[in-house]
Amino acid sequence: MSELIRRARPGDEVELTAMIHELAEFERAAHECTVTEKQLHEGLFGDPATVQGHLVEVDGQAAAGALWFRNFSTWDGVAGIHLEDLFVRPQFRRRGLARKLLATLARECLHHGYTRLSWVVLDWNVDAIALYDAVGGKPQNEWITYRVSGSDLSALAGS
C-alpha cells in the first residue's frame, strides 16, 4: 500500500469538493453544503488563494483531505493555521491518515514559524475527539464559537 500526502494542485478540487459534501453528510448537514468545484478551485488557486489544501492518496486513490487557512494570533503576534476541514473517506479510516495530515500541518507551522494549529470539532464526534486528545490537542472550553450567516448576515450588514 502506497501513501502520498501532498499539497492540493489544480484538478484536486474535484475530489476535495466531493469530500466536503461527504463530510457534510457525515455531520448531518448536507442540506447546508453548497460549495462547488469552481468555488473551491478559485479558493485554492485564485489570486489571492483563500484556502490551502492537502490531499492523501492511497494507491493512487483520493483517500483523505485537509483544507486550512492562515490566521493570526494577536497575543503571539505570529500567524497560525486553522484547519477548516479534515476528512478521511470511510474505507480508508483506521490507517492513521488523519494523524498524518495533522502532523503534516504541524510541520507546516514549524517550517513557517507559526505558533498555533487550531480546529473545531462537533461535540458528538467521539472518534475525532479521541484522536485530537491523543495528538496533544487541548479543548478550548472557555470559548464559544459564534457565526452570523444568511439573512442575519445581510441584516447586520444593513444596520
Band (1; pLDDT cuts 50, 70, 90): confident
Asked if pLDDT for residue 47 goes beyond 90, the answer is yes
| Mean pLDDT within 93-116 | 97
Q: Which residue has the cell 501513501?
A: 3
Q: Find, among 71, 75, 79, the residue nearest to 115 by Cα.
A: 79
DSSP letter string over 12-74? THHHHHHHHHHHHHHTT-GGG----HHHHHHHHHSSS---EEEEEEETTEEEEEEEEEEEEET
Task: Taking residues 47-66, report their average pLDDT.
Answer: 98
Q: State pLDDT tens for residues 65-97.
A: 999 999 999 999 999 999 999 999 999 999 999
- Per-residue pLDDT of 16-45, as tens digits, reads 999 999 999 999 999 999 999 999 999 999
User: Which one-letter amino acid corresponds to residue 127?
Assistant: D
Q: At what angle do helices 97-112 and 126-134 cross, to 10 degrees?
A: 50
The percent of residues in the chain predicted with pLDDT above 90, rounded, is: 98
How much of the chain exceeds pLDDT 70, in percent? 100
| Average pLDDT over all residues of the chain | 97
What's the pLDDT score for residue 55?
Answer: 98
Domains of the chain: 3-157 (3.40.630.30)
